[in-house]
Structure 1
């Protein structure tokens, strides 16, 4: 990663309103990214994994909780961001080669950060998890970046439809070698078989070792989520359409995607771990509606008095996500004496000293997660004030 200081960080809230049909950074996009990452930190850092409120947990298998919307929202944002970042380069075919090298470099850095996080602190390559959240973000960023440079919006929409139909066919028609007919079970679906065959059980999600929620095949429809974000951004950048019309039609399109996802759910269930086609449409439709609302509030109406907290998260999103996965492990490497005299990690000691005695188990767990979000908010606020953005 590289640390940069930009006047843009300071002027985000003082420049004239950024209309989405004009070149420039969408304030609503940074706010949406920040809200999404704040939610990601909240659900990834409970005080106690054994005590979590239901909305802050993933669905057991089929179905969708609020927590299941966080990752697709982020990938949708990746797609939107690519359009704003690469639209100028797209219009200059002579520079496409250099641009694709930059895309590849950034994707490689993202994947490298994910691999480092999976290895830390043991650095045991024989059991390291190869897929992961940052790995999936890297692949979606790479594929969508190249697709955006080389295709028009109609081709992108066609590719999205092709991916969703193809994935449905692969999971529900193609037999699974060694297991028989196609199925959607966790350990015997085609994606799980492919992960075990290509990567090996030692390199999959450690909670299962027989399947991975960010596996190889499921990354295909995840690219579809990025494409939905790209198509949304292309619409928002239309110079000849009034903002109110943009918002209205984006709500219509988002609602239609949600409805189609719910209909498709009847035979290809909404499932985050499988990243089913119905899930792509359902979560993508909600993401489009959320961005439309934020765009209207922040960029069109200029109602920005409430946005500071998500904004400071949004401009350093990858930084806080990466560090928030490492710091708890670093803290637990520091051993202190517990109440029973046995040494325990500093993070666990802090939780059992300052939260457990004063709350019910489930509220102590939630309070620990909220405090984690607030601590990172303080760190990011200082970075924001000093105009520090760590770019990947």
Structure 2
């Protein structure tokens, strides 16, 4: 029996992790167009469940946590999960660490550049008007440092660095602050991370005095990437049965959630600062969702239902960047305006949101059928 399980796991590591593509697509579909569908249904119906969901699809003003706060860090988590299956396999096949280091650094830099383009477009602007912090830039930098640690550190040291970054970040923000504020001030004006960004980050900050994708808060984000890498290592191990992998992810996920909300009493869960409690909270939820998708798709083999998400997940960066090059709203209106007029108020707004998502998905489906994927 043990030999059978091991053989199954070896075969699995040689193939693409189907659950990872599906989970990436599930993550991306919310900002691709599912969010406005939920919000418009809530506005039309006033059903309590949809009104609650609509609240969850907005970020809290500062402290606290809503579901929408999960989307960005889970994408970084999944970038980490893929590392043992890509970088790790290349190492096993004899590619040198120095060559892989350059590959990792190049990917990080490309994502930073993509993020700048996403924020500012392709128009040349004065440096003071350029926003350098970005979602893709944060993913690129955190992924890069986490992958470098993976290349040069054993698993136990990766665990050490995971805890080191979030504990060190907590201590720095607890005992330091912006000039003129008391030590440990965590307001937007007074916290040390925002102060460092105001001093070092060129161009403009997203909120004037603070940027949620700034330089200093990238430190704990590296731990989010490392957690993904450790999860990928677990999923790739041939000595663990698939059910033990699921169990390990669930147990660690639950423990992280408990620790996150205990830590929240001293260091609030806050996406804007990417606080250490936030790292554990989104890490715990990411682990539970990874366990669920892995169990259903890779363990039980029920993968047909996930095809919709897989199409999105295999071209997630492309569809994210596309909004700066394709006027999806105009395309949607051009194709379906007759339908919106036929449906009439108030449900035409819901129909518009649904068709907006549908057009984007069909675009990705055509690319999927022709095996066209944006690889960074």
Normalised-by-shorter TM-score class: 0.7 to 0.9
How many Å separate the matches in 2 of 1:291 and 1:115?
A: 30
Gaps of 5+ in 2: 1-7, 44-50
Question: Aligned to 1:388, what secondary structure does the other structure show?
Answer: coil
Normalising by the residue count of structure 2, what TM-score does the alignment of the two structures yield?
0.86
Match of 1:243 in 2: 242
Match of 2:106 in 1: 105
Aligned length: 357
Match of 1:10 in 2: none
- Alpha-carbon deviation of 1:331? 6.8
- Alpha-carbon deviation of 1:63? 1.0
Match of 1:375 in 2: 359
Deviations 1:136-168 (A, max 9, x none): 011012111111110111101111111111111
Q: Which has the higher helix share?
A: 2
Question: Aligned to 1:327, what secondary structure does the other structure show?
Answer: coil
1:163 aligns with 2:165: yes
How many Å separate the matches in 2 of 1:311 and 1:148?
A: 27
- Alpha-carbon deviation of 1:32? 0.6
Match of 1:42 in 2: 33
Match of 2:320 in 1: 321
The answer to whether the 8 Å contact 2:263/2:277 transfers is yes
Deviations 1:273-307 (A, max 9, x none): 11110111111011011111111111111101201
Match of 2:309 in 1: 310
RMSD: 3.0
Q: Is the alpha carbon distance of 1:139 and 1:370 closer, same or farther for their aligned partners in structure 2, counting shifts above 3 Å?
A: farther
Residues 17-56 of structure 1: matches in 2 within 5 Å?
A: 22-42=13-33, 53-56=54-57
Match of 2:299 in 1: 300
Deviations 1:336-370 (A, max 9, x none): xxxxxxxxxx999999998699455xx77665544
Normalising by the residue count of structure 1, what TM-score does the alignment of the two structures yield?
0.82
Question: Aligned to 1:57, what secondary structure does the other structure show?
Answer: coil
Residues 178-327 of structure 1: matches in 2 within 5 Å?
A: 178-200=180-202, 202-205=203-206, 208-327=207-326
Question: Aligned to 2:15, what secondary structure does the other structure show?
Answer: coil
- Alpha-carbon deviation of 1:182? 2.5
Residues 8-157 of structure 1: matches in 2 within 5 Å?
A: 22-42=13-33, 53-91=54-92, 95-120=96-121, 122-126=123-127, 127-157=129-159
- Alpha-carbon deviation of 1:316? 0.6
Query: Bigger shift: 178-187 or 157-166?
Result: 178-187
Q: Is the alpha carbon distance of 1:144 and 1:359 closer, same or farther for their aligned partners in structure 2, counting shifts above 3 Å?
A: farther
How many Å separate the matches in 1 of 2:194 and 2:345?
A: 40
How many Å separate the matches in 1 of 2:20 and 2:263?
A: 29
How many Å separate the matches in 2 of 1:350 and 1:47?
A: 22
Higher-RCO chain (CA-CA 8 Å, sequence separation at least 6): 1
Query: Bigger shift: 90-99 or 222-231?
Result: 90-99
The answer to whether the 8 Å contact 1:90/1:148 transfers is no
Match of 1:336 in 2: none
How many Å separate the matches in 2 of 1:384 and 1:244?
A: 31
